[in-house]
Amino acid sequence: MNLSEACTTNRMYFRLLKSEDTDVVYRQFSDPDMCRYFSEPPCSYEEAQDIIQHYSAPEGKGHHRYGMFDRETDAFIGTCGYHYWDLELKQVEIGYDIWKEYWRQGYMSEALPVLINICLEHLGADCIYILTHPQNAASMASVRRFGFEECEPCRNVDEQPQVCMKLIRS
């Protein structure tokens, strides 16, 4: 699998973010409702451009992020990907965000199998984990449906308290 290639689910397609996505990336990562569960403060427009550049060529890097778009309307739904890939420990952290107009509509349940497959098959990870805000019950419920269980943190974090949940390759 080439990480730069687009992939699809029933309702979405996943592709690398492009410079023309700056407005929606900025909207996503600067909106107060969206940022309440993020570990970083709201971003500036320039930081949104930096985010896109950071994830522009994923092959061989320890991080990757797709933009998720509606297959029928091309509307931006959110992003998902991985970071903190530890080749030695064969573990990787995943992350995702859904634009608030798409909350509670099953988009993460549709995106997680794609993300889990990339981590297990492309990266060869034995452990996939997510750090989430303790009050983000919807996110914890989403990953629990795929077998993630609460655990001790898989890496040191300086951010606000986080709940670590992991999935072990069985």
Distance between CA atoms of residues 61 and 95, nearest Å: 16
pLDDT of residue 42: 80
Question: Is residue 24 over pLDDT 70?
Answer: yes
Confidence of residue 136 (pLDDT cuts 50, 70, 90): confident
Strands (E), 3-132: 7-8, 12-16, 64-70, 76-86, 91-98, 127-132
What does the radius of gyration of the chain's CA atoms come to, in whole angstroms? 15
The contacts of residue 79 (CB under 8 Å, 6+ apart) are 17, 25, 28, 65, 66, 67, 68, 96, 97
Strands (E), 105-156: 127-132, 149-151
Tell me: the pLDDT tens digits for 66-115? 999 999 999 999 999 998 899 999 999 999 999 999 999 999 999 999 99
Residue 107 one-letter amino acid: Y
Count of C-beta atoms within a 10 Å radius of residue 29: 20
Q: What residue ranges define each of the domains in the chain, with the CATH number in brackets?
A: 7-168 (3.40.630.30)
pLDDT of residue 94: 94
pLDDT of residue 1: 61
Q: β-strand 91-98 against 64-70: which pairing, if any?
A: unpaired
Facing residues of 93 across strands? 83, 129
Q: Are 82 and 127 in contact (CB under 8 A)?
A: no
Distance between CA atoms of residues 84 and 61, nearest Å: 10
Give the 3-state secondary structure of residue 96: strand
Average model confidence (pLDDT) across the chain: 88
